[in-house]
Structure 1
Amino acid sequence: MSVLDAVLVVTALLLAVGGAVVPRTARWAAPVLLPLLFAGAGIQLLLDDFVWQRVPAYALLAVATWLLLRTPRRTVPAALLVGALVPVATAVWALPPVPRLPPPDGAYPVGSTVLRWVDESRPEAATADPGDHRNIVVQAWYPAEFDSAPRQYLYLDGHGELPATVAGMPSALLSRYHLIDTHAGADVPLADDRPRWPVLLFSPGHGAPRAVYTGLLTELASRGFVVLAVDHPYEVAVTELADGTVAHGVPNSGSDAEMAAQLAVRTADLSAVLDRIGTVDSPLTGRIDTTRVAAAGHSLGGATAASASAHDQRVVAAANIDGTLYGDLPEQRLPGPYLLIDSDPARTGHSAAYLERNRKLLGGVQGGGHHYTIGRTDHIGCTDAPLFLAPPVRALAGRWFGGERSPVETRRATADLLAAVLGPPLGERPADVAAVAGRYPDVAGGPV
């Protein structure tokens, strides 16, 4: 909520409460405060453009306040009207039209570029056209070098053509998410501290767009990683293809067989990124080494990272954040290092399949397995989703949405663990993983 939002809502609530508790005092204030309330809403409309989420809230607040001041208490019970205002005000506070992402705290400013191309060697099985081929969509986040203020990067593909829901959220709530500040400069130069930068592939959760991991990925980029976040077309809720078409997700049953098939498609997507990224004109050209990379992901993306490690020898380390494994992946013997990060079992309730399959895969890691649990966070805790709620509401809703741990601390702990395990195989300074985990309360685990 902006400062102006807060002033308008608090003023209206004070009027309503005043009308209920001290009617005479409120009535002399009404001729002054109500016009100011409407004037403030008008100024906000001019400064901040039209935001439909605010209209019913302010309309109801103004009408309820007016009724309290002009109607006898015996006709309109004051307590009832004031009580009705509370959820309205909470709704305004709960879902800011443009959420704010905290800036990354690494040593580097962050740049970003989006790359899209067609993999002519692979047909697209998700469409009916036999002439369609697989699209590859990658957003790179990287340590940057630039002097001018960063230009906001579009947060979400397909603005104006969103499906009914995106990652479980009604698209009407996302109408201004293209204005989210990602704290990144668009297409700015890669920092020149090193001749080549370490590369980390990232795969999102099932159906989730790469955008909802922006906080975590910019954090990693600010610490010196080139992060290649891969959207998986026709599974992700919305993504823009190379020809400008906006593709929506194709529903599946969620059966083990279908998820295993999707995992195979995703694994091939990651390999296709490594095959082509070095030849695509971008700020990264000639500055990254795609022969030795790490992979990480969340949920099904975590399984994708593990699968890439099993099937592509260029992937020398992998991390799985809260991902269930499918197909024959639990039987694979990963070269390692390999990191499994669990959210709090008491919050997420991991399935028996999750526990057993991950236990089996960890037992077969040949070069250093690590298993950590981040307490007081749930399955979506590492995403941006908790930041879509305003802080007061987030604190109240944490038990059911994101976890009680601060989302910024969850992001930092996750990034620290990823950097500690995945950095050294890419030439970064060795880290004491246990010491890194020990910086945070309720982060437990160790080598396996």
Structure 2
Amino acid sequence: MRQLLTVTVTTGLVVLAASACSAPTPPRAAAPPPTSTGPATLPAPTGAHPVATTVLHLTDTSRPDPWDPDLDARQLKVTLWYPTRQRDGHRAPYMTAKESELLLKGSNVASAPYDVLSKTRTNAVKDADPAGRGLPLVVLSPGFTKPVSTLTSLAEDLASRGYVVAGIDHTHESHATTLSDGRVAECLACDSDTDPGFGARVVQGRAADVSFVLDRLPSAWRHPGLIDRSRIAMAGQSIGGAGAVAAMIKDSRVRAGIDMDGTTYARIPTGGLARPFMFLGSREHVPGGRDTSWDRDWKRLTGWKRWLTLSDAEHQSFTDIPLLADVIGLEPLPGMLPAARGAELTRTYVAAFLDQHLKSQRQPLLEGPSPRYPEVTFCPATCGTPATPLPRTPGRRSGS
């Protein structure tokens, strides 16, 4: 039903695909030893600004936790990335050793020390003071069972380009979320993943999480003036991308959205969704392909829209997972988009979309195929539907 990190190890090949939490555990003896001689290092951000990061813990007392009936409030961990002037300082951890252990165990990976992902080198200075004022905000939502840290490379790059990024860990939908008191919440939702209507339930919950974070962020952080609340977008991978659709339907503050390779579940109203939206996916999401949800929703996107697919991309090509494959001791499938190229394409097209719709900067890259990025296909031509023309004066759009 939903798409998440499931790693199947067979003669050293890793398949990053759609599966269920209850998928059979692959034979661990078949996993090769790690090939990397040191910790993974995320690619450097491409923007002009150094990057900082901090963590907020927020509690929504207006609703119970949707996965734990014993909790009468919803606890969320929100990681912020933002521009700073500070270039030196302690780099933020990628995740804790316990989070690394639970993620790898939950994903059936046993080919490396369980704390290996906690040693990943990031680029953001921990808790540094921000630079700037009135910056656009981008909300990030990860795939099911994965922490938002698996989108760190994208988040750091956006922050270096002048965005504030708020990554939400949706508690009990990940293998590991560290709460404010140090307890680590595990994936309770994994017990329900075969229930009818599961996907719709998840994305509605994520939309509620997003609205709550937007409500609380100005008062919960000591730098509220850094964010321009009139310029907010959301991007997500897998069911996080589906959550972007649901959040835009629920909350008009989200002015633009991106779904990275996620089957959608929230139904767009018959009147359409007129705010800018972009599908960015793998070959599983070509028009008329295995997943038809994008075909359905494309017709109801009535504003600026793009449908892009990356040749040889896999489900995790839009995350950090391929960048970490060496230290986990896994090899990509032959012909798969190289990890560094996948990160470059994701960063480039996500930033172009956001620059156009949150910064009013026209992006020729979004007008059609580019010889610099031959892996990117503009699917409206394949669909037989003309691409939505760019507005003469690109800018922020309001919508339904």
Scaled by the length of structure 1, the TM-score of the pair is 0.71
* 1:405 shift after superposition: 2.3
In our comparison, the structure showing a higher alpha carbon Rg is 1
1:338–1:369 CA contact under 8 A, matched in 2 = yes
Aligned to 1:334: 273
Unpaired stretches in structure 1, ≥5 consecutive residues: 1-87
Secondary structure of the residue aligned to 1:274 is: helix
* 1:361 maps onto 2:301 in alignment: no
**Structure 1 counterpart of 2:337, from 378, 394, 405:** 405
Quick one: structure 1 residues 435 and 203, their matched pair in 2 at CA, closer, same or farther if it must change by over 3 Å? same
* 1:113 maps onto 2:51 in alignment: no
Secondary structure of the residue aligned to 2:135 is: coil
Which structure has the highest helix share of the two?
Answer: 1
Matches within 5 A, 1:411-422: 411-422=343-354
Q: Supply the distance in 1 between the matched residues of 2:203 and 2:157 (Cα, whole angstroms).
A: 26
Q: Supply the distance in 2 between the matched residues of 1:369 and 1:417 (Cα, whole angstroms).
A: 13
Q: Supply the distance in 2 between the matched residues of 1:213 and 1:168 (Cα, whole angstroms).
A: 20
Aligned to 1:22: none
Unpaired stretches in structure 2, ≥5 consecutive residues: 1-28, 381-386, 389-400
Q: Supply the distance in 2 between the matched residues of 1:122 and 1:405 (Cα, whole angstroms).
A: 42
Deviations 1:373-419 (A, max 9, x none): 1112111112111122339x87xx4326xx63222221121122112
- Corresponding residue pairs, total: 347
* Deviation beyond 6 Å, 4+ runs, structure 1: 348-351
Matches within 5 A, 1:173-212: 173-192=113-132, 195-212=133-150
* 1:200 shift after superposition: 0.6
Q: Supply the distance in 2 between the matched residues of 1:114 and 1:436 (Cα, whole angstroms).
A: 38
Quick one: structure 1 residues 360 and 430, their matched pair in 2 at CA, closer, same or farther if it must change by over 3 Å? same
Deviations 1:266-319 (A, max 9, x none): 11001111000010134x422102243001100000000111111100011000
2:99–2:177 CA contact under 8 A, matched in 1 = no
Secondary structure of the residue aligned to 1:276 is: helix
Deviations 1:106-142 (A, max 9, x none): 211111011111111111132232x531012111111
Q: Supply the distance in 1 between the matched residues of 2:311 and 2:75 (Cα, whole angstroms).
A: 37
Matches within 5 A, 1:167-178: 167-170=107-110, 173-178=113-118
* 1:97 shift after superposition: 6.2
1:96–1:389 CA contact under 8 A, matched in 2 = no
* 1:272 maps onto 2:212 in alignment: yes
* 1:385 maps onto 2:325 in alignment: no
**Structure 2 counterpart of 1:213, from 151, 169, 173:** 151
Deviations 1:39-64 (A, max 9, x none): xxxxxxxxxxxxxxxxxxxxxxxxxx
1:372–1:443 CA contact under 8 A, matched in 2 = yes
Quick one: structure 1 residues 285 and 292, their matched pair in 2 at CA, closer, same or farther if it must change by over 3 Å? same
Aligned to 1:20: none
Deviations 1:168-221 (A, max 9, x none): 5349633132222111101112123xx311111110001111111111221222
Quick one: structure 1 residues 379 and 423, their matched pair in 2 at CA, closer, same or farther if it must change by over 3 Å? same
Q: Supply the distance in 1 between the matched residues of 2:215 and 2:369 (Cα, whole angstroms).
A: 33
1:157–1:239 CA contact under 8 A, matched in 2 = no
2:48–2:161 CA contact under 8 A, matched in 1 = yes
* 1:242 shift after superposition: 2.5
What RMSD, in angstroms, separates the aligned Cα atoms of the two structures?
A: 2.8
Percent of matched pairs sharing the same residue: 29
2:145–2:175 CA contact under 8 A, matched in 1 = yes
Secondary structure of the residue aligned to 1:279 is: helix
2:145–2:173 CA contact under 8 A, matched in 1 = yes
* 1:123 maps onto 2:56 in alignment: no
Quick one: structure 1 residues 437 and 334, their matched pair in 2 at CA, closer, same or farther if it must change by over 3 Å? farther
Secondary structure of the residue aligned to 1:412 is: helix
Quick one: structure 1 residues 262 and 157, their matched pair in 2 at CA, closer, same or farther if it must change by over 3 Å? farther
Scaled by the length of structure 2, the TM-score of the pair is 0.79
